[in-house]
Chain A
Amino acid sequence: MTASPSATPLLEARALSFHRQDEPVFGPLDFRLEAGELTLIEGDNGSGKTTLMRILTGLLRPEEGELLWRGQPLSWDRCSGEVLFLGHQLGLKTELSPRENLAFAIGLYGQHNLARINEALTLVGLTGYEDEAVRKLSAGQKKRVALARLLLIPASLWLLDEPYANLDRTGIELVNRLLEAHIAQGGAALVTSHGAVQFHGGEPQRIRLHA
């Protein structure tokens, strides 16, 4: 089930740095991310965690340094479909129901062969809210709808920007469970957080950003 070990990592950053109007945001950073590995990006507010995430998705271009995706320079068309991004903006339409939102995501990204929307919504604890408009849900429930995407859509790399924000204790456990299952299947994940993360599948790699 696990990906075969290879010399080229899934994602590699070499001397990556970013400036905004000549103000350094972060960097230079070096890290490697292999399949089956979890990496935590830690840092205070304003230390550039979200900026780094947007660079890793390919939405933002880094000013200096190199980003390699499977040994090739990263660009949005090369890694699209293998990367799943969960940002601060959840990408949910508030006028649509969780079920409609997920059906749309599947229509764009594809679907695990065995995954079903109903089961995913049950797993993230949204039974009974499947057809409620997302705008009527609480912030934590909205987050759970977005998390259901992780169950449905196939991707080898998860980029999760503050996945624990707005979640209660069971929600935090849910994220940890999802991450463990993803890593166990040979997937990789990068997670930003400024809080403590309980991860049971071994000690994750940590990248520390300084403001």
Chain B
Amino acid sequence: MHELRRPSLGHACMAVLRRDLTLAWRQRGDMLLPVLYALIVTSLFPFALGPEDALLRRIAGGAVLVTVLLAMLLALDAMFRSDIEDGSLEQLMLAPQPLAVMMGMKILAHWLATAVPLIVIAPLLAGMLHLPAPVIPVLLLALLLATPLLSLFGGVLVALTAGTRRSGMLLALMLLPLCVPVVIFAAGALAAAQEGLPWIAPIAWLGAALVMAVVLAPLACAAALRIALDS
């Protein structure tokens, strides 16, 4: 009856990615907020702790790490909010495309829009706290692995709490235990690098966790959304 021309999966993925990145760019003021937050928090540390070089150098790695992850939390609960409110998510769910892959693309777009700017300014933040220059590549590597993990965990939890009102509090509570191992491994790598010890093991753990999350989190996210909207 109809002349069908179904888009390929790759085409649909690009459509989701392009739309979400266009939206992020149109609302780039919102994108700036986590960056600003990270800059403010980092610049407050020397005032609160005193401008002692040795002290700052010791806490620099951990402080930047925690600041970046907290800044990411600011934007996390908005990940699918507008899509639920304006019905875009229903359209996505009814599309003849695997929902898990589409959600994976949405999470990727969210990571590109919120985490990448933070990673870009991370060397600046590290410099403000006198992190030794040789440790900065390790910091960037740790952030490159830790931030997508947080986005993926966040995506699942946001999907789980999609049906509930005022889900921000619940989200923060549920995300905390998932953040802890990420912070431990990332901070472990930084501490080792700062003392001149081999730091590859904790980074490898982060990488392994990321590979698992990339595969499993979109599936969990899609399943959770189907449950959340079935009410």
Q: Which residues of A contact B (CB under 8 A)?
A: 1-3, 35, 57-61, 76, 80-81, 83, 85, 87-96, 100, 103-114, 154-156, 185-187
Chain B contacts for A156, CB-based, 8 A? 1-2
Q: Assess whether B5 is in contact with A107, with CB atoms less than 8 Å apart.
A: no
| Bound-complex Cα distance A114 to B11 (A) | 19
Q: Assess whether B230 is in contact with A105, with CB atoms less than 8 Å apart.
A: no
Partner of B14, one of A58, A94, A107, A112: A107
Chain A contacts for B63, CB-based, 8 A? none
Chain A contacts for B11, CB-based, 8 A? 107
The residue in chain A whose Cβ has the minimal distance to the Cβ of B92 is A108
Chain A contacts for B90, CB-based, 8 A? 57, 59, 85, 87, 89, 91
Q: Assess whether A80 is in contact with B96, with CB atoms less than 8 Å apart.
A: yes
Chain B contacts for A2, CB-based, 8 A? 1
Chain B contacts for A95, CB-based, 8 A? 23, 26-27
A54 to chain B, nearest CB (A): 8
Total chain B interface residues with beta-carbon distance under 8 A: 36
Chain B contacts for A109, CB-based, 8 A? 7, 95-96
Q: Assess whether A88 is in contact with B87, with CB atoms less than 8 Å apart.
A: yes
**Given A59-B230, A187-B1, list of 16 further CB < 8 A pairs?**
A1-B1, A58-B94, A83-B94, A85-B94, A89-B87, A91-B91, A92-B88, A93-B88, A103-B15, A104-B18, A108-B91, A108-B102, A110-B4, A110-B5, A114-B3, A154-B2
| Bound-complex Cα distance A87 to B12 (A) | 22
| Bound-complex Cα distance A89 to B92 (A) | 13
